[in-house]
Amino acid sequence: MKKYNVGFIGLGNVGSKIANNILKNKNNLFIHDLDKKKGLKLIKDGAEWSNNLEELSQKSDIIITCLPSPKSVNSVMSNLITFLNHRHLWIEMSTTDEEEMIRLSNLCQKKNIETLEAPVTGGQHRAESGNISILVSGKKKTFNKAFNLLSNIGHNILYCGKIGNASTLKVVTNYLASINLLSLGEALMVCKKYGLDLKTSYHGIAISSGNSFVHETESQLILSGSYNVGFSMDLVCKDVGLFNKLTNKYNIKADISKLLNRKFKLGKKKYGGQAQSTSITRLIEDSCNTKLRAKSFPKILTDNEEKKQGVEIKF
């Protein structure tokens, strides 16, 4: 399998795990982040630190950004694009604004820089195992060119068409996950107040028509009391805001979206922007003066499956 010279910018909870899988597949990895401490383990395992974006671009053919907000993506790319040329492929793996992604990709096109947007979905535990899902948009020939590298990172890989499509679909999926998280807090509280054992309730939901990926994963962290999903209130508020922007753009009367936005803004105000997104259920715990806890649930999520071969989802 072809090996790549990859520059990676953004070593947060998910980014560091994606970068590690690129490194484990024996690619040459050059890393950069505002906080060098986030890269120390990768450096120890063989990655090379780049002191600035120019240095990183000179050593890399493919550059991946995995950043927390459209503002940070714009800040990085405004500087990075100066150093890129026709030999580079930029892959944007953040959850970002589709209009901003289209604008940046057009700037890249003027310099003959190939571009893909490839946000990941499925949680940091699957990012760590390499079994995360990837939504990819851009030219199909560019997607085909990068597929082997994407296979190092994830398992289910969906080609979504033109730039903007993957960003929009990722925002939609995060919106649905956030709704599910709120509803699970209310559902588990009903079970608790009724007197149902919460471990029994968890498994009952898991085998029912009410089951979901969010329940199977994040409910466990609520019940253990850790809430440690590796995704912050700040990030949820950003994602829900992006969804609201889309509903306004297309004049969609989205009452649930507006309620969701208010709830997470309240959660952020009460618990802080860096609080875990799953701690939104603390709103109902606090209002009911009741904790949603059960024994034998994990403090962190792990994916115990071996790395699966990356496959393109076709239909």
pLDDT digits (tens, 9 = 90+) for 201-241: 999 999 999 999 999 999 999 999 999 999 999 999 999 99
How far is residue 249's CA from residue 98's CA, in Å, rounded to a whole number?
12
Q: For residues 47 and 28, is the Cβ–Cβ distance under 8 A?
A: no
Q: For residues 152 and 133, is the Cβ–Cβ distance under 8 A?
A: no
How far is residue 90's CA from residue 84's CA, in Å, rounded to a whole number?
9
How far is residue 96's CA from residue 87's CA, in Å, rounded to a whole number?
25
The count of structural domains within the chain is 2
Dihedral angle, C-alpha 11, 14, 15, 20, nearest 10 °: 100
Give the type of residue at 7: G
Collect the ranges in the chain with pLDDT lower than 70: 1
- Note whether 173 and 135 are same-domain residues: no
Q: Which of 116, 136, 163 lies at the terminal end of a domain, its last residue?
A: 163
Residue 299 lies in a domain: no
pLDDT digits (tens, 9 = 90+) for 45-78: 999 999 999 999 999 999 999 999 999 999 999 9
How far is residue 59's CA from residue 78's CA, in Å, rounded to a whole number?
19
Residue identified by tokens 């590796």 is 230
- Note whether 23 and 61 are same-domain residues: yes
Residue 137 lies in a domain: yes
Residue 309 lies in a domain: no
DSSP per-residue codes, 87-122: T-EEEE-S---HHHHHHHHHHHHHTT-EEEE--EES
Q: For position 55, what pLDDT does the model report?
A: 98
- Note whether 154 and 36 are same-domain residues: yes
Residue 233 lies in a domain: yes
Q: For position 2, what pLDDT does the model report?
A: 72
- Note whether 130 and 279 are same-domain residues: no
- Note whether 103 and 150 are same-domain residues: yes
| Residue 278 structural domain | 168-288
Residue 183 lies in a domain: yes
Residue 295 lies in a domain: no
CATH code assigned at 76: 3.40.50.720
- Note whether 131 and 173 are same-domain residues: no
- Note whether 114 and 179 are same-domain residues: no
Q: Which of 113, 138, 163 lies at the terminal end of a domain, its last residue?
A: 163
Q: Is the dihedral of CA 55, 59, 60, 65 positive or negative?
A: negative
How far is residue 63's CA from residue 6's CA, in Å, rounded to a whole number?
6
Classify burial at 284, counting beta carbons within 10 Å of its beta carbon; exposed 0-12, middle 13-18, buried 19 or more: middle
CATH code assigned at 283: 1.10.1040.10
Q: For position 1, what pLDDT does the model report?
A: 59
DSSP per-residue codes, 181-235: HHHHHHHHHHHHHHT--HHHHHHHHHTSTT--HHHHHHHHHHHHT----S-BHHH
- Note whether 17 and 145 are same-domain residues: yes
Q: Is the dihedral of CA 124, 130, 134, 138 positive or negative?
A: positive
- Note whether 93 and 239 are same-domain residues: no
- Note whether 21 and 119 are same-domain residues: yes
How far is residue 53's CA from residue 263's CA, in Å, rounded to a whole number?
38
Q: For position 266, what pLDDT does the model report?
A: 98
